[in-house]
Structure 1
């Protein structure tokens, strides 16, 4: 074993012990707890080298060492494989998610499972509407002056809008049939941004006799096709925050603000490029001072190479990275299979 490989084994042991105990790790405890195959003196020398290179730090004089963000980064990058979940765990996740009755229920169950598996804050993103296709547009008569529009996407999302036509317009069955045909021709089968552009043209190009109905209906339909940022994320496990950051109470307020505002989380989700890849962002890599002492483990879900949305866990940098990465990847895969199959 080379000196570099041996030092990485020492770093791996420090990460493991610090995650488990939350206490700085000394060379004596490393020699006692881990079969590193070298003397305590060699371990001390390796720890000194790791500290010089910025992978570990000494928080207090005469204390042991703790991993730095750089140390966690090296540890994550050199994981030979993500710790697999047990067959029982995978079956339990799949069975729980499969019982969902609709898209909202799928995401609620997914985020709850992830929070319970990792004991951290879990986040699931609604399928990104810009990547969704319109599967169906239904037009229903509520009364002579009101319509109900129902838009269903290929990701299982259902949007409803009521159309008030005003006192000067009365709708009949023929108008509803024509309106339904127009929306089917211009919206169904298209990605939402393209459907919005096509539908917007209807108010200008449609038969003047139908325009008093088409114009308000188009306005309502566009409201369904435009991205709804305020409902993009579902969170669970916020009760874990106090315990997870118990040794860093000064960071709690910032973490809560970041989770509440969601802007950083959405940016990180938007960077996900493949349903199969797990991404780990650590400390300053997140580019948000409120999350400077945090890590985010995320994965996209979807079908084939298309990412529909993201799944993530937010916790302190001192987290069980192998276990968290396995849980995030498993939940993301199941959510992708269920959403793509709807």
Structure 2
């Protein structure tokens, strides 16, 4: 079965709201008494005040961990020192930084979101340790870096569509390089620590469920954030995909894709593409990731006694799929 375009149904507002705005987690979570420490270190401000190579060398020497993990080199790297000197002294990059600084201000919004997210993580996982958070400015040389103990945010990467300069990516990828996507992106990457998988299961279904669990984790940690920000889909794509999921599901079933193990075939449905033309000209890329999230969401609806922790530590994608009873239905 192949569709030249998506079919659209005028469904009730509740269905559209489900697709555009975050759904409540299955569990009621009170984080009011949980304490977290979110201290954002403004390396962007500190680095843009450096003027000489000696100052740059001293800064890098005093922040070895940052240099090792983010730049993946050593503080003595001559090329890095020269690049930072150029960024700090060139009139064009200095003007670009002023644009960045004006857009982001004091980062209160990002800090508040991170506090919400970290409180929720600590609610579910009391041993969670808040990672060091650093903002920097690289003149679009590098992107967001997230590890268990360090998060580095190159702010200029997330200036959004009105920025004078933007990351060198196709237009269909640029949407996610905007301020509202920063914290959801961080949480999706952090979810990897808790997202158990079966390394022997190489099926597309396993990949779909993995992504679905990561998005479900992110939504649980950021309950007030729109689903479209969690998965980095335009609102219009969320609405179209939600209303056409029966057709998407039929395509996956008709073409026996769930247990496909060929990496090239799998990439068509879970990888970044402007469209999945095999399904339809309006079908957005990463449709398999979105469908995996629907399966996981249905799994939690059908099995309300399963906690988020239980979900994340379950490596059996087929078990999650079968117990979800998902068949492309609209209702949640």
Q: Structure 1 length as normaliser, TM-score?
A: 0.25
Report which of the two has the higher share of strand.
Answer: 1
RCO greater where, 1 or 2, for CA within 8 Å and sep 6 or more? 2
